[in-house]
Structure 1
Amino acid sequence: MRHETRRNEQRAALTPADARRLIEHGVRLTVEESTQRVFPVHEYAAAGCEIAPQGSWVSLCPAESHVLGLKELPDEPSRLRHRHVYFGHAYKGQARARTLLRRFEAGGGLLLDLEYLVDADGHRLAAFGHWAGYAGAALAVLHRRGLLTAPLASLRQCELDERLRPPSGGERLTAVVIGAHGRSGRGACDALTTAGVAPSRWNSAETRALDRDALLAHDILVNTIGTDHPVAPFLTKDDLDDPRRRLSVIGDVTCDVGSHLHTLPVFDRATDWDRPVERLRTHPRPLDVIAIDNLPSLLPAESSRAFSADLWPLLLALREGSPEWERCLRAFRRAVGSMEGG
């Protein structure tokens, strides 16, 4: 398990407790040191893991090793020879997707993208969705109340919930969650409920026949829909200029910015921890967007524990070539083949 190079990424794909479970099943697990991981490295050592310096996977791991992580790889090496297990974000035409796939092609390595670790019905088997939705909705509410400060810092859930408690006599907010039945959507609804906001819960029926007037009549929009095929946008630039628009904050949890599958093409770049909010319009009233692509790291301990509990049993099957991991491999090969065809 490698160190995460993104500065504000404190999550871990495996907790020390689940690392111990893997070792008890005969897995040899090396954990890189990290100055920012939410779980200290001595807890992994106590669980039986071997400890290695940050970044040592590049030169010390045999080519047949699986290198486990969460977010993007460093820019070097240019040739990737290992089997990488992480969220690659490279199959939907995202920025630098082709460059990443070329690196795997050049080095003979493989990407087993955790986004494509699914069952036979296409349902994700290990995901941060609940906490992504929770954090995204929470930030939208805090910003709408004028309580969001930058840069962001990670929290425990109890600390975030304390900030979310509705103020006595405060403005009564309205919010709509698109994709409310999914993991992220349910997490968003939970955060809004904690904040004293009763969300409108929209799903496929509401998006097929989208009531734009109803959408624009809410204070907050939280988008948690992920799609594998193009759909009509939920908002257009004309909607932003509609004088009847009440909508003032968009929390885009899905964050497919730069992809042809982006369902909110009214903005074209993600935000981040240093600048979490981007203003899209000043008139007829302010409209801001929050589109951070590692939202669960706002709650690194809670989100890591939930994800690790899903993932560790699946990692055991890496040795056997399970159908779940074979689907990941096919997705990688399709992406590389499509790139070559283009």
Structure 2
Amino acid sequence: MRDALCLWMRHETRPNEQRAALAPEDARRLVERGVLLTVEESAQRVFPVHQYAAAGCEIVPRGSWVSHCPAETYVLGLKELPDEPALLRHRHIFFGHAYKGQAGARPLLRRFEAGGGVLLDLESLVDVDGHRLAAFGHGAGYAGAALAVLHRRGLLTSPLASASRNALDATLRLAPAGESLTAVVIGAYGRGGRGACDALRTAGVEASRWNSTETRTLDRDALLAHDILVNAIGTDHPVAPFLTRADLDDPRRRLSVIGDVTCDVGSDLNALPVYDRPTDWEHPVERLRRRPRPLDVIAIDNLPSLLPAESSRAFSADLWPLLLTLREGSPVWERCLHAFRRAVGSLDGG
């Protein structure tokens, strides 16, 4: 077993992050194929740790990757790393959000550069055409559109809490008598957009589906005539803003809720530069305008964790076969490595 692939799934430090990169059933599939899989204890993870133990994983205390994880092991997670250690020496697999100029990107890359470690960013896990191979897009779109509808109906309460898909669907179906809401989904044919359209359909809300054709020559009057905007666009290059601050003051504006699933705030890729910080589970809604009618934005960067079990299982099903190729010089992981090296190489003394 000396040459076995070694993976270490860490505890997520974000308080409301209940998802897991690997579901127990897929952990078992990896173990059965000779992978040495270590799983940290985590009271908040949606899957109890005993299910991983039953799958043949070694169970260790939370956070122990810092001091006990061997250098040749891949550390697997989803969201951000803790602030310590300052020097990152391991090979990490998670959503680093470090290549689009996001807040905190440069310090994170500096930590890898200083420690000699590597980030295999799950955002860069793509095929030769740039399509994501493992993503939470559908869950993010579904949850983002669902929150927008519930807020528009006055049914959204805070702080938010995770739920099952069945429970969320039951709430979405509680449409007021005589309601006539319309929504526009931008990026409607990607993973996130399809998820958003599924949620709107469940809620009984009519959805306009826009993609690159509609946004290339965007009809802002048509956009502002909808009640809800869900932004689920995926892009690796800057695009013209879908909304500007001046649009928010348009007296003809019917739009009252923005659900920004993409949530690229702070990045040059942000297509909705009308707000300057994401929202969160404690305060999911930010009021942007009171006149000519209220306009609110919901921009939460871990939306799929609102449906932690379903979204984790869907993501894990995509990821586990790819993990098996980590030591084979797979082009998929080579692209991740190339993206990391390019990002580190672009760092300057600032």
Q: TM-score, normalised by structure 1?
A: 0.99
Q: Say what the alpha-carbon RMSD is for the aligned residues.
A: 0.8
Report the equivalent of 2:3. Answer: none
Question: Conserved in 2, the CA contact under 8 Å of 1:133 and 1:187?
Answer: yes
The corresponding residue for 2:107 is 99
Distance 1:199 1:263 in 2: 20
Aligned 8 A contact 2:175 2:203 in 1: no
Paired residue secondary structure (2:243): coil
Deviation at 1:96, TM superposition (A): 1.0
1:165-314 equivalences under 5 Å are: 165-314=173-322
1:340, distance to aligned residue in structure 2 (A): 3.2
The 5 A counterparts of 1:138-153 are 138-153=146-161
- Shift, 1:250, TM fit: 0.1
Cα deviation, residue 341, structure 1: 7.8
**What letter corresponds to residue 213 of structure 2 in structure 1?**
A
- Asked whether the equivalents of residues 175 and 204 of structure 2 are also in contact (C-alpha less than 8 Å), the reply is no
In the alignment, structure 1 residue 42 sits paired with structure 2 residue 50: yes
Code of the residue aligned with 1:23 in structure 2: it is V
1:117: which partner in 2?
A: 125
Number of equivalences: 342
C-alpha contact 2:239 2:269 (8 A) present in aligned 1: yes
Shift of 1:84: 0.3
Residues 252 and 290 of structure 1 are in contact (CA less than 8 Å); yes or no, is this contact kept in structure 2?
yes
Secondary structure of the corresponding residue to residue 333 of structure 2: helix
Counterpart-to-counterpart distance in 2, 1:107 and 1:90: 17
Residue 267 of structure 1 contacts residue 280 of structure 1 at CA under 8 Å; is this kept in 2?
yes
Whether the aligned pair in 2 keeps the contact of 1:2 and 1:55 (CA below 8 Å) is yes
Matches of 1:38 and 1:166 in 2, distance apart?
Answer: 27
The answer to whether the 8 Å contact 1:175/1:222 transfers is yes
2:332 to 308, 324, 339: 324
Deviations 1:187-227 (A, max 9, x none): 00000000001200000000001000000000000000021
Amino acid at match of 1:81: R
Whole-Å Cα distance in 2 between the matches of residues 337 and 150 of structure 1?
42
Gaps of 5+ in 1: none
Letter in 1 for 2:100: K
Long gaps (5+) in structure 2: 1-8
CA distance in 1, matches of 2:209, 2:333: 33
Letter in 1 for 2:303: L
Question: How many angstroms apart in 2 are the aligned matches of 1:106 and 1:7?
Answer: 28
Question: Which whole-Å deviations, capped at 9, do the CAs of 1:54-98 have from their partners, x for residues lacking one?
Answer: 000000011121000000000000000000000000111111110
Shift of 1:261: 0.8
* Cα separation, 1, equivalents of 2:81 and 2:162: 22
In structure 2, distance between residues paired with 1:203 and 1:127 = 19
Match of 1:250, SS?
strand
> Does 1:52 pair with 2:60?
yes
Secondary structure of the corresponding residue to residue 199 of structure 1: strand
Work out the CA distance in 2 between the residues paired with 1:87 and 1:14: 14
Higher deviation after alignment, 75-84 or 225-234:
225-234
Q: 1:162 maps to which residue?
A: 170
Query: Is 2:145 the counterpart of 1:137?
Result: yes
Give, in whole Å, the separation in 1 of the partners of 2:176 and 2:299. Answer: 29
Percent of matched pairs sharing the same residue? 82
Does the 8 Å CA contact 1:166/1:196 hold for their aligned counterparts?
no
Aligned to 2:14, what secondary structure does the other structure show?
A: coil
- For 2:338 and 2:178, the matched residues in 1 are separated by 52
In the alignment, which of 34, 40, 46 is matched to residue 26 of structure 1?
Answer: 34
2:77 is aligned to: 69
Moved over 3 A (4+): none
Equivalent residue, structure 2, for 1:7:
15
1:31 counterpart SS class: strand
